[in-house]
Amino acid sequence: MSGYKEEINTVVKFLGDRIPSNIEEMFIRLSGISKKDFFIVEAHETGTVAGVDGSNANILDAGFLALSAFRAVVSLFNENQRIKRGMTPIKFNFIGSGEYNDDFPKLFNECFGKDPGTRLSNADPYKVNSVVRDTLEYFVSLETLKTLEKEALLLIDGAFHVEHKSLDPIIEELFFRAEEKEINICAVTKRCEVTWGDGYPLIPAVMRAAEKFNMKAPWWIKIDDDWISGRRTPEWKKGSIFITLLHSCAKSALKVELPRYYGNERICKVMQKLAAVSCDGRIPGYPFPLFDAHRACTIKREVASDIRNRIIEGMTKRGIQHRDFKAVWEDIHDEFNHY
């Protein structure tokens, strides 16, 4: 068995191979990009910008049954001033021992007034959580579109790439409703998992290429689908990918997605607004309405704890002894953590 030092060295080598020192040259060679593929953005007045984000938190986990809480939030800004925040109630989802998730169809129906059509497998809890969270985000996005005026920008946390078939028509509907009202929509990813070539990360490659071409932020570049490796469920991918550095002090560029049918002029308009709402001194380079929505929707530890307490209270009223509750739900790690 290899020692600790060797293990670390292996990890370092693996990660180092992902970001070779000439990554930008490799990317330029593969993509054939030049300086003219980068577009400079001039930040303009923002008008109305809405940011939608969702969150989930693990409430109880007994191994055979897990309960998670979800909610989504929209934060609506006009010229850097928040006009309002809208929030879904906290929704719960059990991931049980059954093959399919029983709560998802109920939630889907509650959100969109119809059945999902496709069942959601419980096999991958991470995916279940992701789909449920997206469901709430799309619901909030559709609701928000009803209130937005022409020319507004709707920002959604994540990607226009669903992870479950049932959400594909929902994205279609979202695009349709936005087009109907001449509202721009854009998906912004907090963490970009897109790779190119033999699995090299996209963001550092593009950033280093921009540096090589002496690009001054804010800028953006469109990413051709052909450059991307390891694509999952391409049939559910609805957006074009862009990498953009929205502020000169931004720590990193962002991956954003826009509907595929947006022309260059419209893309520029969206990028200008994105840059204009990404100048907050705390998180330069990230759209503030999304940050605001994120902070409002995050189910923090104290909220999760409150939920747990209310559940225990309700169960006690139903005659279930706390001892039994603990026997099922309490993780021995909680005890370990006392020491």
Q: Which residues of this protein are in contact with other proteins, per CB under 8 A?
A: 74, 77, 80-82, 84-89, 110-111, 139-140, 143, 247, 249, 277, 279-282, 284, 288, 292, 296
Q: What are phi and psi of 225, to 5 degrees?
A: -55, -30
Work out how close the CB of 85 gets to other proteins at its nearest, in angstroms, rounded to a whole number.
5
Work out how close the CB of 25 gets to other proteins at its nearest, in angstroms, rounded to a whole number.
30
Nearer to other proteins, 25 or 143 (CB): 143
Work out how close the CB of 155 gets to other proteins at its nearest, in angstroms, rounded to a whole number.
13
SS3 160: coil
Cα–Cα distances (Å) from 98 to 129, 231, 315, 330, in that order, read 16, 29, 23, 22
Work out how close the CB of 131 gets to other proteins at its nearest, in angstroms, rounded to a whole number.
17
Which residues contact residue 27 at a Cβ distance below 8 angstroms, ignoring those fewer than 6 apart? Answer: 33, 196, 197, 200, 205, 206, 208, 209, 227
Work out how close the CB of 189 gets to other proteins at its nearest, in angstroms, rounded to a whole number.
21
Closest to 28 (Cα-Cα) out of 18, 36, 16, 17:
36
Do residues 217 and 248 lie in contact, with contact meaning Cβ atoms separated by under 8 Å?
yes
Rounded CA separation 177/183 (Å): 8
Nearer to other proteins, 76 or 241 (CB): 76
Work out how close the CB of 293 gets to other proteins at its nearest, in angstroms, rounded to a whole number.
11
Nearer to other proteins, 84 or 212 (CB): 84
Nearer to other proteins, 237 or 247 (CB): 247
How many Å separate Cα 195 from the centre of its chain?
17
Nearer to other proteins, 71 or 161 (CB): 71
Rounded CA separation 184/270 (Å): 7
SS3 12: helix
Nearer to other proteins, 85 or 222 (CB): 85
Work out how close the CB of 83 gets to other proteins at its nearest, in angstroms, rounded to a whole number.
8
Q: Which two tokens stand for residue 333?
A: 């790690």
Work out how close the CB of 247 gets to other proteins at its nearest, in angstroms, rounded to a whole number.
7
Q: What is the dihedral of CA 162, 164, 168, 174, to 10 degrees?
A: -60
Cα–Cα distances (Å) from 15 to 9, 18, 21, 199, in that order, read 10, 5, 12, 11
Nearer to other proteins, 61 or 143 (CB): 143
Nearer to other proteins, 45 or 110 (CB): 110
Work out how close the CB of 297 gets to other proteins at its nearest, in angstroms, rounded to a whole number.
11
Residue type, 115: D
Nearer to other proteins, 219 or 288 (CB): 288
Residue 304 buriedness (CB in 10 A; 0-12 / 13-18 / 19+): middle
Residue type, 55: S
